[in-house]
Amino acid sequence: MGKQFKLRKEKFVTDSGIELPEFLTKSDALPAPGEYPYTRGVHRSMYRSKFWTMRQYAGFATAEESNERYKFLIESGTTGLSVAFDLPTQIGYDSDDAMSEGEVGKAGVAIDSLADMETLFEGIKLENVSTSMTINSTASILLMMYVAIAKKQGADLKKLSGTIQNDLLKEYIARGTYIYPPKESMRLITDIFKWCSKNLPSWNTISVSGYHIREAGSSAVQEVAFTLADGIEYVKCAIESGLDVDDFAKRISFFFNSHNNFAEEIAKFRAARKIWANIMKERFNAKDENSMKLRFHAQTGGSTLAAQQIENNIVRVTIQAMAAVLGGCQSLHTNGMDEALALPTELSVQTALRTQQIIAHESGAADSVDILGGAYLIEYLTNEIEKSAIEYIKKIDELGGASKAIEYGFQKQEIERHSYLIQKELEEKKSIEVGVNEFLSENPEKHELLKIDDSVGKRQIEKLNKVKSQRDNPAVRNKLETIKQKALTDENLLPFILDAVESYATVGEISNSLREVWGEYKSV
């Protein structure tokens, strides 16, 4: 039945002293929360036992600055770290590579070697914190760096908890931070599944992401359908590689967006749980109930944030966060009000975190399970999203699965079509965005934004040169050559990547070793 938690309160009552039931139901209603198909929630007591993990996605400039931000967030009450990496790290280039110029430390923290990761988590006991890393093409490298630090700290690897995104299919659909062709990317993903099932049993080995699909302009239905279709593809590949479904499926997690349409977003999360439970039970014959449970992290919608009247974004984020909570998320990130313009300041990050804390402690939203379950509109929308998403999944199955559909450009074309319609509605004012196309302000407020010092790249290159001058370079070359040789076999690459990481081989060096063998994927 999974981990049991002590109740947060002895009694859940309103301000008027009215006692709240755990949940309400009727004879013809869906099964209770925590029961298949989990439409009402993956745990029976949900937030009455334990709040969702409150994360704040953070990372900028160098590891030193990001470490300070993490410690600030922990002191402010965040219950999970979420690491944002810069673009060079995401696509396997070191800070001194010509491809990295102008991007070092800008969209996230720059990580070149284990030395940077050691600084990033300095003073933070990994055994005591849940860490999410938004990393895909280089996920195997960054995860092995995390493992190497945990080993140095003397941590029990079986107790390490967290998530790597590790979702390459959505990169080909909506985001673009891929390196290798799909076949080789899938090989790395299944290597991670296998290695973690034995060595990191509490780690979520993939976070199948609908977030970026929605950010690219999809509808809520498309977000659910294309995300679950990607999930199906990962399960199929893992089974074909020899894994038993119940050995890895319980560590698959999902990552969804939360937008402004309050009722639709709540229903979307409920429908996604039901569809996935049915897929795992009926299509893949999963026996472990934890293999059937769709556990998800939610992030409020970045694309909904406006650069105009940015204070309005606090209201948008609050609505979206409440929808995620009432939809039953396991983990949540709330965007800062200034993120349409820059990386968030400490003040906006703290306000975003306080938004979650107010929902948790003051709103009553966490005092009963599936609060809106049974509401006519919510149940109608849940059923309609389920039906429409299943139709999309059937189309993708007919095309040969998510990978084949990507080759045909199916998901991308569907997203682009919907995105165009939404933009047209805004331009024609059939849809209103407050402060953007209506209710404009003549004298907008000025806000101080976070600026990344242009010296970051130079400082990062200096650190990288120092690492390279102090390590055993012949040993590094041998380990990189081993990775190249093993990439030509079916042997699991993670032990060899870990060995290279521990010798302070860099993200770029390891990525380039695999590039030499596998080549790079070029979008058509």
**Closest to 480 in 3D by CA, of 457, 512, 523, 454:** 512
Tokens 């698959």, located at residue: 252
Rounded average pLDDT over 506-522: 97
pLDDT in tens, 263-276: 999 999 999 999 99
Least confident piece of the model among 11-15, 89-93, 144-148, 346-350: 11-15
Q: What's the distance, CA 444 to chain centroid?
A: 33
Q: Are strands 130-134 and 80-84 parallel, antiparallel or unpaired?
A: parallel
pLDDT above 50: residue 2? no
What is the spatial distance between Cα 140 and Cα 136, in angstroms, rounded to a whole number?
8
Q: Is 54 helix (H, G, I), strand (E, B) or coil?
A: strand
pLDDT in tens, 169-193: 999 999 899 999 999 999 999 999 9
Asked if CATH classification 3.20.20.140 holds for the domain at 46-427, the reply, yes or no, is no
What is the spatial distance between Cα 73 and Cα 302, in angstroms, rounded to a whole number?
20
pLDDT above 90: residue 18? no
Q: Is 33 helix (H, G, I), strand (E, B) or coil?
A: coil
pLDDT band, residue 3 (cuts 50/70/90): very low
Q: Which two three-digit tokens encode residue 433? A: 């965005």
pLDDT band, residue 524 (cuts 50/70/90): low
CB-based burial, 104-115: b 16+ in 10 Å, e otherwise: bbbbbbbbbbbb
Q: Is 201 helix (H, G, I), strand (E, B) or coil?
A: coil
Q: Crossing angle, helix 494-502 and helix 473-487, to 10 degrees?
A: 170
**What global pTM score does this model have?**
0.92
Report, in angstroms and rounded to the nearest whole number, the Rg of the chain calculated over CA atoms.
23
CB proximity list for 390: less than 8 A, separation 6 or greater? 225, 275
At residue 22, the pLDDT reads 84
pLDDT band, residue 432 (cuts 50/70/90): very high
pLDDT in tens, 318-377: 999 999 999 999 999 999 999 999 999 999 999 999 999 999 999 999 999 999 999 999
CB proximity list for 365: less than 8 A, separation 6 or greater? 47, 322, 325, 326, 359, 371
Rounded average pLDDT over 304-309: 96
At residue 387, the pLDDT reads 97
* Mean pLDDT value across the chain: 94
CB-based burial, 280-317: b 16+ in 10 Å, e otherwise: bbeebebeebebbbbbbbbbbbeebbbebbbebbbebb
Locate CATH 3.20.20.240 in the chain: 46-427
Tokens 């990439």, located at residue: 487
pLDDT above 70: residue 308? yes
pLDDT in tens, 233-246: 999 999 999 999 99
At residue 114, the pLDDT reads 98
What is the spatial distance between Cα 392 and Cα 219, in angstroms, rounded to a whole number?
12
**Closest to 271 in 3D by CA, of 171, 365, 392:** 392
pLDDT in tens, 32-80: 999 999 999 999 999 999 999 999 988 999 999 999 999 999 999 999 9
Q: Is 257 helix (H, G, I), strand (E, B) or coil?
A: strand
pLDDT above 80: residue 8? no
At residue 28, the pLDDT reads 59
Rounded average pLDDT over 134-142: 97
Question: For the chain, what percentages of helix, strand and coil (3-state, to nearest 5) are there?
Answer: 50, 10, 40
Rounded average pLDDT over 376-389: 96
At residue 5, the pLDDT reads 43
What is the spatial distance between Cα 231 and Cα 248, in angstroms, rounded to a whole number?
12
Q: Crossing angle, helix 312-326 and helix 262-278, to 10 degrees?
A: 30
Which stretches of 13-104 are assigned E, i.e. beta strand?
Answer: 53-58, 80-84
At residue 10, the pLDDT reads 75
In DSSP notation, 428-439 reads TTSS--BTTTBS
Rounded average pLDDT over 482-508: 98
Better pLDDT: 15 or 377: 377
CA angle 175, 177, 182 (to 5 degrees): 95
Report the share of the chain in percent with pLDDT over 90.
90
Rounded average pLDDT over 300-326: 97
